[in-house]
Structure 1
Amino acid sequence: MLYLDGKKLEEILSAKDAVNAVKEAFSLYYQGKVTQPQRQVLTIKGNWWGIMPSYTDFSVVVKIVNVINENKNRGLPSVQGIVILMSPDTGEPLAVIDGTILTAIRTASASVLSTELSYGNRIPTLGIIGAGLEAYYHAKIASEYLSISRILITARKSHIELAKKIGADAVDLQTLLKESDVIFSTTSSKEPVVLGKFLKEDFHVSSIGAHTPDAREIDDETIAKAKTYIVDSLQAVSSESGDYIQPQRKGLIKNVIEIGKIITENIKIERPSIFKTVGISAQDNLTAYYAYKLSQTFSK
């Protein structure tokens, strides 16, 4: 049985492989070829925990993941997790994988994929809101996969340090919103940080936060402007994300479509566009399986 830590995952999973993994995951999910029971969500000591099982004809995966916001004060990533990959044929454990890094990679890859589908590969200005692990991996995978002229980054703190690390410009939130063509929102905020009054007429936003019904990353004005509202799973966002639940009740959301349908049916996206992802087990399953298969190649 393999153990793949974060360093090994980075070595074997290129940005192209990671994006291809989530692309296949969304396609298989839409076609009903991934079985993923609804995740079990727990609140432990006030923090969000999720248990996410899934299986395909070739892989069984269970991920245990949590979001511990106080970890920022401990010098630890807010998201912690572990992934177990097993054979559906023999029942053997095949790999134990660092779920913190795998989650960061597959989430960033989904944002990058949504950008490719809606905006293309050439991005004049990419804005990243947040300065944690997800922000770093969003910048890393986007820079490796897309052609980006300029990256802006903002956060409540630590964004100046991250900007230096990734070669970005540290700016205030209003500047980022006004100047960015594509925005990745990677925060733990419960109040909107993507504000429609500052955005360009044409934009694409990928929001990975606000994964509880009472939390928002995107304000109503942004959602009202969007011509296409893309989701990873309609079932998941309908039960988990305030960025979908609240504006849907107000009748603000137009043209909702799952990203798997866009991929499978080769649908052209009309902008401005939003991609709302709370993360689905299929992403973990295919990314873990890709990493496992690639590790076999690397070991030869």
Structure 2
Amino acid sequence: MKVLTDQDLLNLLPPEKAVSAMKEAFSLLWRGEVISPQRTVVTQKGDWWGVMPCKTRYLFTVKVVAVIPGNRERGLPSVNGAVLALSPDTAEPLAVLPGATLTALRTSATSVLSTEIAVGRKVGVLGVIGAGQEAEFHIRMAQGYLSPSRVLVTARKSHVELARRTGAEAVELDTLLREADVIFATTSSTSPVVKGSLLKDGFHVASIGAHTPDARELDDDAIRRARTYIVDSLEAVSRESGDYIQPARSGALGAKVLELGEILVKGIRVERPSIFKSVGVAVQDNLATYYAIKELV
């Protein structure tokens, strides 16, 4: 059984390979070729834990992932965990992978994929909201796969240092919202940071935060302006995301709702302004793991 390190994953899943893995993952999901029971979630004292099993023809995987806000004070990523990969035929243990890095790689690759299908690979100005691990992975994945003319980054703190490490520009939130053509929202905020009244015409926003029913990254103005609302899994966002549940109930969500896999399989043209909302699904971990280890085992 292989035990992979964070650096192993970075070497094994460069942007082209990571995005290809997500294209296959969501195509398999849409075609019904994935067995993925609802994840088990435990929330205690502000910490969120999830157990995510998944079986494809390639692997059986189980990811234990947690969002631990207190990890920031410990110098650790707020998202942490591990992935166990087994043979789908024999249950032979094949690999253990670091969950935080795998999650950041597959999540950023999926946001980039949503951008490719909505905008293309030349995206103009990219704005990233947040300064944690997901924000940095989103910047680096975009720089390796897309062709942004500029990258803007903002957060409550730490974004100046993130900008220095990645070659981005540290700006205020309202400046980013006004100037960015594509926005990646990667925050732990429970109230909206993406304000629709400030966004450009033809925007694309990928939102990966606000993964509980009472949390929002997107305000109602942004959702009202969208012509296409893309989701990783309609079942998952209907159960978990306040950015979907609340505007769907209030009537603010009038856009065409499409799953990412449906767009890929059917070749549907995405009309902008567009939003991609992701809460994360287990098939992402399964295929990212498979693409990482298939030449090692």
Shorter-chain TM-score range? over 0.9
**Is the 2:46–2:69 contact (alpha carbons within 8 Å) kept by the matching residues of 1?**
no
Task: Give the letter aligned to residue 203 of structure 1.
Answer: F
Structure 1 length as normaliser, TM-score? 0.97
Task: Give the letter aligned to residue 133 of structure 1.
Answer: Q
Alignment map for 1:225-236 (pairs within 5 Å): 225-236=225-236
Answering whether residue 290 of structure 2 is matched by residue 289 of structure 1, we say yes
Name the CA distance, whole Å, in 1 between partners of 2:71 and 2:296.
30
SS of the aligned residue for 2:294 comes to helix
Task: Give the letter aligned to residue 278 of structure 1.
Answer: V
RMSD of the alignment, in Å? 0.7
**Is the 1:118–1:271 contact (alpha carbons within 8 Å) kept by the matching residues of 2?**
yes
| 1:162 to partner: Cα distance | 0.3
Which 10-residue stretch deviates more, 245-254 or 223-232? Answer: 245-254
Which 10-residue stretch deviates more, 184-193 or 39-48? Answer: 39-48
| 1:46 to partner: Cα distance | 2.5
Name the CA distance, whole Å, in 2 between partners of 1:75 and 1:98.
16
| 1:69 to partner: Cα distance | 1.0
Alignment map for 1:10-159 (pairs within 5 Å): 10-159=10-159
Residue 209 of structure 1 corresponds to: 209
Name the CA distance, whole Å, in 1 between partners of 2:198 and 2:58.
46
Name the CA distance, whole Å, in 2 between partners of 1:187 and 1:201.
23
Task: Give the letter aligned to residue 46 of structure 1.
Answer: G
The 4+ residue runs of structure 1 with deviation greater than 4 A are none
Residue 265 of structure 1 corresponds to: 266
**Is the 1:12–1:295 contact (alpha carbons within 8 Å) kept by the matching residues of 2?**
no
Name the CA distance, whole Å, in 1 between partners of 2:151 and 2:295.
30
Task: Give the letter aligned to residue 236 of structure 1.
Answer: A
Residue 168 of structure 2 corresponds to: 168
Name the CA distance, whole Å, in 2 between partners of 1:88 and 1:74.
37
SS of the aligned residue for 2:123 comes to strand
Task: Give the letter aligned to residue 233 of structure 2.
Answer: S
| 1:78 to partner: Cα distance | 0.5
SS of the aligned residue for 1:213 comes to coil
**Is the 2:194–2:217 contact (alpha carbons within 8 Å) kept by the matching residues of 1?**
yes
Residue deviations 1:5-42 (CA, integer Å, cap 9, x gap) = 11100011110110011111001001100110000011
Task: Give the letter aligned to residue 184 of structure 1.
Answer: F
Number of aligned residue pairs: 296
Answering whether residue 201 of structure 2 is matched by residue 195 of structure 1, we say no
Q: Which runs of 5+ in 2 are unaligned?
A: none
Residue 279 of structure 1 corresponds to: 280
Task: Give the letter aligned to residue 255 of structure 1.
Answer: K
**Is the 2:63–2:81 contact (alpha carbons within 8 Å) kept by the matching residues of 1?**
yes
Name the CA distance, whole Å, in 1 between partners of 2:295 and 2:161.
33
Task: Give the letter aligned to residue 160 of structure 1.
Answer: V
Sequence identity, in percent? 58
| 1:74 to partner: Cα distance | 1.5
